């Protein structure tokens, strides 16, 4: 049972089908003038249209990239360089993805400055805080549309308004959101937006950056004329075609997917806190991704839960320090005010379309005994029980 949508989704069979010819006979380079090349080019441009349509953009506003992380790097570094004569200050939220936070760190070394906007206990950014953080030097604000670790959906349209009232550009990292909730760049009023195919049944290595017409951006890869000269290199044709097909299917199937997955997700959010004491929902209860249920389980650590669930055939994520390569507690949970010990008990269930009600019942059945077993091993739980007796 796969419950790790936020890590990767399976490839949509139609996306695979669309990709196959471009891995086999249609191997032409889109920049070649012969028929083989032109065939590949039209496939890429068709995909561009489909991706644009998914977020209500025009195709000339879509730049293909290799990942959500690349899109995020691209927009931060590209705008910092393009707008450096205007100002060298940017505003970010405290819970951004590492590809935003680390890009900012690199840019700081080059003399750019960043302000971090806090979040509340649900992980929500207050647009007023963004307003206060903007200075005369500010050129860009970047706040994610949805957080993959806690599922919270940010008030991005309001933040965009704040930015535009002060003539500052606004980017949103929508990697966790696009293809999973309706996303319309015009309604949101964003100038740039990152999205990635592997978050909505497209292939890995295939992502995009929406950039509003007329917005300046320094090239990320210099070379040929691909992607308007801003990202050179022979196109990942099969990947782009797969991304396009996944975008097309998301547009068609999105409402049905949400209707199917959300009640199952709701059952997890309702039942787990009833079944297990000292287990808490993380993120906003209402304003959250429809496939996303995240919790912290007190007194135990996430990796133990993850490994035990894996042995039961259930794949999940955790934001605990032990499960991260850097062995650091989740910056998202800490920013939301969780203490280190509680943040260690992070566990994230993110549903994919294939999940059935039977799967959910099985999970509800096997997870509580796993928690109990790990708690019996935990010195923190023993202390808690002793305190309770008093």
Is residue 307 involved in binding another protein (CB under 8 A)?
Answer: yes
Whole-number minimum distance, CB 324 to another protein, in Å?
A: 9
Among 304, 317, 319, 338, interactor with another protein by CB under 8 A: 304
Neighbours of 303 (CB within 10 A): 17
Residues 6+ away with beta carbon under 8 Å from 349:
3, 265, 268, 292, 293, 294, 316, 363
Note whether 33 and 375 are within 8 A (CB).
no
Tokens 């509800």, residue located: 364
Whole-number minimum distance, CB 321 to another protein, in Å?
A: 4
Looking at the DSSP bridge assignments, the partners of residue 181 are 178
C-alpha–C-alpha distance, residues 287 and 92, integer Å: 20
Is residue 216 involved in binding another protein (CB under 8 A)?
Answer: no
Range list of β-strands (E), 59-185 = 62-65, 89-93, 113-117, 138-142, 169-173
Among 22, 299, 349, 367, interactor with another protein by CB under 8 A: 299
Looking at the DSSP bridge assignments, the partners of residue 64 are 208
Consecutive H or E run containing 295: strand 292-297
Residues 6+ away with beta carbon under 8 Å from 118:
94, 125, 129, 335
Note whether 95 and 72 are within 8 A (CB).
no
Q: Using the rule CB under 8 A, give the single segment among 38-46, 205-213, 294-302, 349-357 that binds another protein.
A: 294-302
Whose Cβ is closer to another protein: residue 137's or residue 339's? Answer: 339
Whole-number minimum distance, CB 375 to another protein, in Å?
A: 9
Whose Cβ is closer to another protein: residue 65's or residue 320's? Answer: 320
Whose Cβ is closer to another protein: residue 132's or residue 340's? Answer: 340
Consecutive H or E run containing 210: strand 207-211
Is position 163 annotated as part of the catalytic site? no
Among 63, 139, 243, 300, interactor with another protein by CB under 8 A: 300
Whole-number minimum distance, CB 274 to another protein, in Å?
A: 24
Among 379, 388, 389, 390, interactor with another protein by CB under 8 A: 379
Whose Cβ is closer to another protein: residue 170's or residue 295's? Answer: 295
Note whether 224 and 27 are within 8 A (CB).
no
Whole-number minimum distance, CB 305 to another protein, in Å?
A: 10
Is residue 303 involved in binding another protein (CB under 8 A)?
Answer: yes
Neighbours of 388 (CB within 10 A): 7
Nearest CA to 226 out of 216, 212, 237, 215 is that of 237
Residues in the interface with another protein (CB under 8 A) total 25
Instruction: Name which of residues 338 to 377 contact another protein (CB under 8 A).
Output: 339-341, 344, 376-377
C-alpha–C-alpha distance, residues 93 and 123, integer Å: 10
Is residue 301 involved in binding another protein (CB under 8 A)?
Answer: yes
Binding mask 314-333 toward another protein (x if CB under 8 A, else -) reads: ------xxxx-x-x-x----
Instruction: Name which of residues 116 to 135 contact another protein (CB under 8 A).
Output: none
Whole-number minimum distance, CB 196 to another protein, in Å?
A: 24
Q: Annotated catalytic sites, by residue?
A: 322
Interface positions with another protein (CB under 8 A): 299-301, 303-304, 307, 310-311, 320-323, 325, 327, 329, 339-341, 344, 376-380, 382
């Amino acid at each position: 049972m796969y419950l790790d949508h936020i890590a990767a989704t399976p490839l949509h069979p139609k996306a695979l089908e669309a990709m196959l010819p471009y891995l086999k006979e249609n191997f032409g380079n889109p920049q070649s003038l012969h028929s083989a090349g032109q065939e590949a080019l039209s496939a890429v441009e068709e995909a561009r249209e489909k991706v644009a349509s998914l977020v209500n953009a025009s195709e000339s506003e879509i730049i293909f990239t290799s990942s959500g992380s690349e899109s995020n790097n691209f927009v931060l570094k590209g705008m910092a360089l393009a707008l450096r004569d205007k100002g060298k200050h940017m505003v970010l939220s405290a819970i951004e993805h590492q590809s935003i936070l680390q890009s900012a760190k690199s840019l700081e070394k080059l003399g750019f400055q960043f302000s971090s906007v806090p979040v509340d206990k649900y992980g929500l950014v207050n647009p007023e805080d963004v307003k206060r953080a903007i200075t005369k030097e500010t050129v860009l604000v970047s706040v994610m549309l949805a957080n993959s670790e806690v599922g919270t959906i940010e008030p991005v349209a309001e933040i965009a308004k704040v930015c535009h009232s002060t003539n500052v550009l606004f980017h949103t990292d929508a990697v966790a959101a696009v293809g999973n909730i309706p996303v319309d760049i015009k309604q949101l009023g964003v100038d740039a937006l990152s999205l990635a195919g592997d978050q909505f049944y497209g292939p890995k290595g295939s992502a995009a950056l929406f950039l509003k017409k007329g917005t300046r951006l320094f090239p990320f890869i210099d070379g040929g004329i691909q992607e308007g000269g801003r990202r050179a290199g022979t196109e990942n044709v099969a990947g782009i075609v797969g991304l396009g097909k996944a975008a097309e299917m998301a547009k068609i199937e999105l409402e049905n997917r949400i209707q199917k997955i959300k009640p199952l997700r709701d059952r997890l959010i309702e039942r787990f806190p009833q079944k297990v004491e000292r287990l808490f929902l993380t993120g906003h209860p209402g304003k959250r991704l429809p496939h996303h249920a995240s919790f912290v389980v007190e007194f135990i650590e996430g990796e133990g839960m993850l490994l035990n669930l894996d042995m039961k055939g259930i794949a999940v994520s955790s934001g605990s320090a032990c499960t991260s390569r850097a062995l650091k507690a989740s910056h998202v949970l800490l920013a939301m005010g969780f203490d280190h010990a509680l943040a260690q008990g992070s566990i994230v269930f993110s549903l994919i379309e294939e999940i059935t009600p039977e799967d959910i019942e099985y999970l509800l059945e096997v997870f509580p005994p796993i928690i109990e077993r790990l708690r019996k091993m935990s010195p923190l739980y023993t202390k808690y029980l002793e305190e309770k007796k008093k």
